[in-house]
Structure 1
Amino acid sequence: MLPPDGDAADRFQPLRPGLVRLAYRMLGSITEAEDVVQEAYIRWHQTDRSVIREPGAFLSRTVTRLCLDILKSARVRRETYIGPWLPEPVLETAGDEDVSEDLSLTLMMALERLSPLERAAFLLHDVFGLGFEEVAATLDRDPAACRQLAARARKNVRADRPRYPVDREEGERMTDAFFAASRSGDLTALQNLLAENVVAYTDGGGVRNAALNPLFGFRRVSGLFMGVARKDDGRLPPVLYKGLINGLPGIVTLEKDGIVQTMTLDIEDGRIVGVYIVRNPEKLRHLSGLAN
């Protein structure tokens, strides 16, 4: 006989935010993460909870396995995705300060380069603190294999973590300066902001105009924004949000086609080394309320 329904909800709700973060890190999609967590809740609701000693471990295992199933088909979708793929942007909200680094865009992109099993082992052990016995039970592998998976992932991820996270005030100042320079076509200002080895990713998903490949180097990146400025006659679109996006400084703007857009900056040693722009409407639905 199952415990009462109220018990299921009462024990599940405090765990929901962490489960959504786990699913988002696995999938890079807020929509899919929320769907996975809802499916995990349905399974939790149908389970004999009286025999489960650690609900958090049980639900983390359930969410991870659901995500691994999705990633099998996601790999195929990513291979046919038009242009660079970026994760759905997540805006910082109250209480997020302690998880911003683990949601950072650079980390999410590093995770994307891992195999699904490497990603799961790293997240469960290094980020969520599960022991390798529990990781092994989740992934249906032995603990030694899970240690190797996590070690390989850790080596790749460590190279992509920022050495010196930018100060929040400095990040906001540089975001303001870059937004003004890139949209007005101020080449001199761009020269003072962009690193020579800067890279820009623009994710339009084949739905909105965007570069089909990452742009490397100051000349190509500045050329992109000079072209945007000419098309927009140097006019600045309304800013709907300014703050951290996936742990990095950025803004959300309302573009002239009426759809929101995010721009996030990776800053090192006072220069912008990465520009990440999400234009694909499918990845911005959860931000559409900002325009109302």
Structure 2
Amino acid sequence: MKIAETKQETRKIVKEWKKQGLSVGLVPTMGFLHEGHESLILKSAAENDKTVVSVFVNPMQFGKNEDLEDYPRDFERDCSICRKAGADLIFHPCPQEMYPADFFSYVNVDRITEGLCGSDRPGHFRGVCTVVSKLFHITTPDRAYFGQKDAQQLAVIKKMVQDLDFDLQVIGCPTVREADGLAKSSRNTYLSPEERKAAAVIHRTLEYAKEAISQGQRDAGELKKELVSRIEKEPLAEIDYIELVDGELLQPVKVLKKPLLIAAAVRVGKTRLIDNYFWE
């Protein structure tokens, strides 16, 4: 497994692979890898001849008073996970490599970025789309792998790829969970033991939604009211949002029908956690 810190070196390696007719998969990450990232790398390694993992804490997608400086980092551990999962190359640039002083270009996707996390984090998806488009250009993958836990991000990237004619396939992969259902996240390390126990309420609530739909609930307003009530019963949990939206353009719905995304962002202590249920 190779490690490249520059765009030039990364391009050189990938071009050599492409000359040999090899397929390339990309797994974009911000590091501090866990089993969720590992599952993406394993899938890419199974479906492509070569796999690139980017490890880059992207400052552009963090807003004011967010956790950029405190975001967990452990590059040595990341390398070990990548190597065991079958990665061939880690692209690990510094911020100056990705955003030199004369950088003035950005990628925006409208409409589907306006609600959910986009309403609470202005500029976040501009940062995501800009860095992901750069990674696509630098690594020229045939396939790129993203976790379904970040459902809005996945939808936004798919739309960007469609609208801007990127020649690659975006693949969403199932959320990897803890034993009690909590979605794996690098930010889970922020939780105290008491908060960690309380955080399980998010998955339990989404499981209730799944069951309610299977039993015929179709009134979005009534279901949302019940979901809010269940999370509010947990004293350590504070809701940022719970929304029921269509699964493509992420617009609010009144009547539940496929494809449907139920997305939640909940703060437990100071930690903001997201999760979702997709009905399709």
TM-score above 0.5, yes or no: no
Taking structure 1 as the reference length, the TM-score comes to 0.30
- Larger helix proportion, structure 1 or 2? 1
- Larger strand proportion, structure 1 or 2? 2
Taking structure 2 as the reference length, the TM-score comes to 0.30
Looking at CA atoms only, which structure, 1 or 2, has the larger radius of gyration?
1
